[in-house]
Chain A
Amino acid sequence: MLIGLAVGVASVANARAPDLAQGRAVALGGGAGDQQACAACHGANGAGVMPIYPRLAGQAAFYLYKQLLDFRSGQRESAVMGPIASRLSPRDMEDVAGFYAAATAPYSPPADGDGAQLQRGGTLAAAGSAERGIPPCANCHGQAGRGMPPSFPYLAGQSEAYLAGQLAAFRDGSRRNDPLDVMRRIAGRLNSGDVTALSTYFAHVYPPAREE
């Protein structure tokens, strides 16, 4: 975890380590000025208070930081996060990203999914589809979607609604902050059944355990 964090911060070309206390202040009370608290939607521990809000707990710090930058620049369009991110200083972004990367949150497994859907999603995640040009999610997002810091977020235990929404956003181009368009190209090859199966699958996978 520490290494992941260190790599994340290093790749921001800023040697300063995130100030977790300051990050906590931003998460719970918002940044300077008129600012909403991240915790209102994402929870103080990053578990997310509703399924449409993604889980942030233990997510790679650099990934979180980059998303905030991309919300601000509009590379990742969001009516909610755009204005919030544009009022955060880069330093606030670093700190709050570091705070949520270090957070731990319990995971309550959702009610059991449909076996056929899970198998379809799990197979696509692990093996992709050679004939349709869909690489396995595991190639970049790690085995069972555990994530590969600093850049590739974990998907395991992420909410179903959020995952499906993001795949749709990659497909319609409202999210275009993926390196080399790779997620947009992949999402373009997924049909709606694939999206449902993948979202169901990852939502039911136990999220990665952080090394303390």
Chain B
Amino acid sequence: MRLALAFLCLIAAGSAHAEQGDRMKGAALADQGRNGVPACRSCHGDMGIGDGSGAFPRLTGQLGFYLYKQLKDFAAGTRPSPVMSPIASALSDREMQDVAAYYSSVQGPFFPLPILDAKLAQRGGMISAAGIAERNVPACIACHGPAGSGMQPSFPYLAGQYAPYLEYQLDQFRLNRRQNSPLNVMNDIAARMTEEDMRAVSEYLAAVRPPDLSRIGASSTGPASPYTGAPLATYQGTR
């Protein structure tokens, strides 16, 4: 109930923002930066797909309001980051909206995944779909949408996000270094998870390709497996 109320407040407060941004201005900022603000692209890659390593999260197609709120929280310090906090602090509210609008409007391809540990992935899939009843860990999909594909406006997609990034964020929640989830619900959840749980669910979610993105892989530019998503040819074209 507490939770539901907080979510309602968030929705009421935030739903308008993503649509307000100018994605063309956002694209310019993302690709070139400006004086005092490095280009987002220099770490987050072309179209926000990252670089395959998992050092930097995928931003492509992420929910606009979520992205906007993260920038606000980086600036405010509820999500402290030695890299992102100074950058976010240099952005105007308008620029945050623009750049969030840009990244939420693009759909970049996926890099091929490392070979998946099937046992680990199965365990992660169970946690994502059903939670861990005995430790009161709810299913990820309860908030993050079917197969972790995200839920407007506040719950980011997890499907296809880089595993090292997801695992690192869970750990940041567990250590209470990241305190920007509604009512700190992610901190509570992460505190009930073991390292192994975190790894399993991260590896699983990273391997999921949301159904609405899989059609990119069906394009004529080349073959795609369920694990590789869009063929890399798409990425080569953007160099």
Contact = CB atoms under 8 A, between A and B. Distances in A.
Contact of A115 (B38, B54, B82): B54
Contacts of B95: none
B144 to A, nearest CB: 19
In this complex, the interface size class of chain B, counting residues with CB under 8 Å from chain A, is: 20 to 34
Given A209-B235, A209-B236, A211-B239, A108 B54 contact: no
B113 interface: yes
Interface residues of A, number: 29
Interface string B41-80: 1110100000111111000000000000000000000000
Given A122-B56, A143-B41, A108 B168 contact: no
Interface stretch (A5-13, A172-180, A199-207): A199-207
A109 B52 contact: yes
Interface in B170-217: 171, 203, 206
B54 A144 contact: no
Contacts of A146: 239
Contacts of A138: 42
A118 B235 contact: no
B111 interface: yes
B112 interface: yes
A122 B216 CA distance: 28
A206 B52 contact: yes
A116 interface: yes
B42 A109 contact: no
B239 A206 contact: no
Interface string B123-165: 0000000000000000000000000000000000000001111
Given A109-B111, A109-B114, A204 B42 contact: no
Contacts of A204: 52-55, 164
Contacts of A112: 54, 114, 162-164, 167, 203, 206
Contacts of B37: none
A119 interface: yes
A80 interface: no
Interface string A108-138: 1111111110110111001100000000001
A209 B55 CA distance: 19
Interface of B: 38, 41-43, 45, 51-56, 82-83, 111-115, 162-169, 171, 203, 206, 232, 235-236, 239
Interface of A: 108-116, 118-119, 121-123, 126-127, 138, 143-144, 146, 156, 201-202, 204-206, 208-209, 211
